[in-house]
Amino acid sequence: MSKSSKIALIKEILESAEASIRSAKQMVTEMAGESGNSQIAKMAEKVGSSKIVGDAHVIEGSFDGQNMVGPDARVYSVPANYASKSKLIPGDVLKLTITDDGTFLYKQIGPVERKKIIGTLTYDEGQYRVIASAKSYKVLLASVTYFKAEIGDKVTIIVPETTDSDWAAIENVLPRFEGEISPEDFKI
């Protein structure tokens, strides 16, 4: 391995170590109960509704990163493929229609303001995360597999512009260019 390759590898290792420290700090914050879930529940109570329309039950609520929280704080499971494909982020308003045969139909009806940032995909304690802007964001496995992302890849994520969030949606995986270090370079 050439000297410049070794320097590039060392820089990548240092960036990874810094990302791990940021991730650890984020996990301590989450374990201390300082997450944004109570904020989503309050938003769902304010924007949400529940009514019967014909033979269907229609519920509006807020997306928390994995699920929809209804106006009564009840949690409704959102299919990961739908959340990933629609690039849902915490705070998005969803409408759930439960038909008379028990089918759940989701529709995004109120996206929150968004911003895009670039980060590095990591994996920690059974959860994919993206380290970006000195923070660790959880991302859905469905997004990682859809984009065929690998640990160490640079990805563009979407996060709420005005509120803090533990979750992000993957927008895309950035291409690698010649000479860049890939995850394969770390395998022995």
Specify whether 102 is located in the same domain as 66: yes
Residue 72: domain span: 37-110
Can you tell me the distance from the alpha carbon of 149 to that of 187, in angstroms, rounded to the nearest whole number?
17
pTM: 0.72
Specify whether 84 is located in the same domain as 41: yes
Specify whether 123 is located in the same domain as 172: yes
Specify whether 30 is located in the same domain as 120: yes
- Three-state SS string across 78-122, please? CCHHHHHHCCCCCCCEEEEEECCCCCEEEEEEECCCEEEEEEEEE
Q: Quick one: tokens of 162?
A: 């005005």
With bands split at pLDDT 50, 70 and 90, how would you rate the model's confidence at 69? very high
Burial (CB count within 10 angstroms: exposed 0-12, middle 13-18, buried 19+), residue 31: exposed
With bands split at pLDDT 50, 70 and 90, how would you rate the model's confidence at 158? very high
Q: Model confidence over 18-32: pLDDT tens digits? A: 767 766 765 665 565
Q: What is the DSSP letter of 162?
A: S
Can you tell me the distance from the alpha carbon of 139 to that of 117, in angstroms, rounded to the nearest whole number?
13
Average pLDDT of the residues in 79-91: 95
Q: What is the DSSP letter of 167?
A: B
Q: Which of 110, 145, 175 is the last residue of a domain?
A: 110
3-state secondary structure of 63: strand
Do residues 43 and 62 make contact, with C-beta atoms less than 8 angstroms apart?
yes
HSE-up of 87 (CA within 13 Å, CB side)? 15
User: How many H-runs (helices) and E-runs (strands) does the chain carry?
Assistant: 4, 11
Q: Quick one: tokens of 164?
A: 């803090």
Phi, psi (degrees; rounded to nearest 5) at 174: -75, 140
Q: What is the DSSP letter of 186?
A: G
Specify whether 106 is located in the same domain as 130: no
Specify whether 123 is located in the same domain as 178: yes
Average pLDDT of the residues in 55-82: 92
Domain count, the chain: 2
With bands split at pLDDT 50, 70 and 90, how would you rate the model's confidence at 184? low
